């Protein structure tokens, strides 16, 4: 009986986790592009989607942040200096909705902790910059020209309040101060690296690796369950 309960709860957990929205289940981009890679970011309900050509350094991104109101700004940045002071040096794409309903999206280099995020040019050429707000989500689209052969970047992402059509300082709670990390543009292993369903053909090696990942997760579940059961058995008898 206990075993049955465990199996049921295991199946339930699996169903729950597979129905939760991850980056790979979202494909409705307003620019109609398909992105070959994506990663759910660990803070601020955010995901990054990208296509990358390392020989040209051309990086097409879509940055999506959910649970955003019309009085929030969001930003996604590359920091070529490092992640120690992730904010200083951030080459940022900033977006928010203006009070007249239009989206403002622009680039800003962050040079101080008290920045008001003025518009200026980035270290990288940026094209196709666009942002949309819908369904409590902001998506920023852009193409960045990175130095060719770049393989990893330091990414920083953020959100904060908007007042009088100006971005204000972001909160200093852990979700906002931890929202940074390196992003491997070439090989980003993990369950979230799946081609979007509308891409032309699934990449065989990518799906093999997600198959391996699933096997491993299942094995771990079962081992945990068996060990747990043994432990209960030993304790009871």
What is the binding site for ligand NAG (CB under 6 A)? 43-45, 53, 55-56, 67, 98, 100-102, 148-149, 175, 187, 203, 205-206
CB of 187 to ligand NAG, least distance (A): 6
Distance (Å) of CA 208 to CA 83, 191, 204, 213, 217? 32, 11, 6, 9, 14
CB of 188 to ligand NAG, least distance (A): 8
When the beta carbons of 111 and 165 are compared against ligand NAG, the nearer one is: 165
When the beta carbons of 20 and 234 are compared against ligand NAG, the nearer one is: 20
Distance (Å) of CA 159 to CA 18, 86, 106, 155, 193? 27, 14, 15, 14, 24
CB of 186 to ligand NAG, least distance (A): 8
User: 237: which residues sit within 8 A by CB, 6+ positions away?
Assistant: none
Which pairs from 119-127 meet CB under 8 Å and 24+ separation?
Answer: 122/91, 122/92, 123/80, 123/91, 124/78, 124/91, 126/93
When the beta carbons of 6 and 57 are compared against ligand NAG, the nearer one is: 57
Q: At what angle do helices 204-236 and 2-19 cross, to 10 degrees?
A: 150
When the beta carbons of 60 and 91 are compared against ligand NAG, the nearer one is: 60
When the beta carbons of 102 and 197 are compared against ligand NAG, the nearer one is: 102
SS3 per residue for 140-170: EEEEEECCCCCCEEEEEEEEEEEECCEECCC
Under DSSP, the state recorded for 30 is T
């Amino acid at each position: 009986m206990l075993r049955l309960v465990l199996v049921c709860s295991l199946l339930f957990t699996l169903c729950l986790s597979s129905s939760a929205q991850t980056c790979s289940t979202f494909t409705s981009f307003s620019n109609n592009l398909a992105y070959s890679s994506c990663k759910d970011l660990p803070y601020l309900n955010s995901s990054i989607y990208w296509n990358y050509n390392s020989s040209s350094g051309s990086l097409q991104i879509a940055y999506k942040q959910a649970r955003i109101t019309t009085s929030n700004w969001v930003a996604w940045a590359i920091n070529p200096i490092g992640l120690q002071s992730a904010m200083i040096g951030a080459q940022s794409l900033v977006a928010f909705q203006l009070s007249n309903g239009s989206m403002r999206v622009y680039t800003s280099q962050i040079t101080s902790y008290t920045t008001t995020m003025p518009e200026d040019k980035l270290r990288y050429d940026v094209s196709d910059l666009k942002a949309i707000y819908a369904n409590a989500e902001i998506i920023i689209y852009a193409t960045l020209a990175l130095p060719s052969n770049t393989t990893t970047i330091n990414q920083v992402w953020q959100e904060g309040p908007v007042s009088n059509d100006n971005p204000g300082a972001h909160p200093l709670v852990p979700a906002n101060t931890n929202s940074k990390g390196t992003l491997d543009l070439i090989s980003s292993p993990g369950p979230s690296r799946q081609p979007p369903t509308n891409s032309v053909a699934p990449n065989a090696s990518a799906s093999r690796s997600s198959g391996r990942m699933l096997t491993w997760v299942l094995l771990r579940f079962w081992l945990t369950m068996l060990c747990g059961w043994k432990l209960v058995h030993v304790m009871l008898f």
